[in-house]
Amino acid sequence: MSYLIMNDVTNSSETLALDDDGLLYRPGVRASMEAFTTGGGTAALEAAAAVRAAAQAVERLRSHGASGRGLSAGALDVLTRLGVAGDEGLPLGELARAAGMSPRNATGLVDTLERDGLVRRVQDRRDRRSVRAEITSGGRDWLESFRAPTQRAMSAVFQGFTDDDLARLRHLCLRLVENQQRIEAYLNAPPTHPQTP
């Protein structure tokens, strides 16, 4: 049964349907979730599957806009942040914090971007112990060539959405992130022990 559930949840070509309230849903996902919950409520599970399907749809269009140039979403985020940072770039630790990733992941992405000639490492002039990452002219050219196809792809995927729709969607997605961060902080908090008198 788990294969059926995962296949239905990740099947992006499934035909959509309208429920009694006129809202879109995926019949295969709903059926799988009903079987999974043995009759329990499926709203949260269906919403999670829809968020995942939407993220995959956006990512497919984003990578199509990259025209096969092979940058991951993380590498694109790092390159964009370095493009905005200007000529001085960013220290690797600051880049990792800004991108919300571990220093190790940021270093790996900078390695990849450097190998592709899009980024370079330089010694920090103010702190010789620190290394900064800077975007190269090739990196700026890459971002410039990526900009127009990305804007077209995002316009297409969000066709028919009003500015209010987009703001509400952003808000709801970030509420999910906020909840996840709160839960993770709770799970990673040191255990509290009752004090003994």
**Is 8 in contact with 32 (CB distance < 8 Å)?**
yes
> Bridge partners of 120?
134
- 158 within some domain: no
C-alpha torsion sign, points 119, 122, 125, 127: positive
- Is 138 within the bounds of a domain? yes
Contact 102, 96 (CB under 8 A): yes
DSSP string across the chain: -HHHHHHHHH-TTSPPEE-TTS-EE-HHHHHHHHHHHTTS--HHHHHHHHHHHHHHHHHHHHHHHTTT----HHHHHHHHHHHHH-TT-EEHHHHHHHHTS-HHHHHHHHHHHHHTTSEEEEE-SS-TT-EEEEE-HHHHHHHHHHHHHHHHHHHHHTTT--HHHHHHHHHHHHHHHHHHHHHHHHHHSPPP-PPP-
Instruction: Classify burial at 2, counting beta carbons within 10 Å of its beta carbon; exposed 0-12, middle 13-18, buried 19 or more.
Output: exposed
Q: Looking at the domain assignment, is residue 111 inside a domain?
A: yes
Asked if residues 66 and 49 have their Cβ atoms less than 8 Å apart, the reply is no
What pLDDT does residue 4 have?
40
Domain count, the chain: 1
- Within a domain: 179: no
pLDDT the model gives residue 82: 94
> What pLDDT was estimated at residue 3?
39
Amino acid 195 reads Q
Residue 45 lies in a domain: no
**Domain range enclosing 118:** 73-145
0.85 surpassed by pTM: no
Q: Say what the pLDDT of residue 194 is.
A: 67
User: Residue 65's pLDDT is what?
Assistant: 60
Inside any domain, residue 101: yes
Encoded tokens for 23: 């809202």
Per-run averaged pLDDT (10 residues), the chain, 197 residues: 43 79 90 83 90 86 64 87 88 90 92 94 81 93 87 88 95 93 89 68
Indicate whether 34 belongs to any domain: no
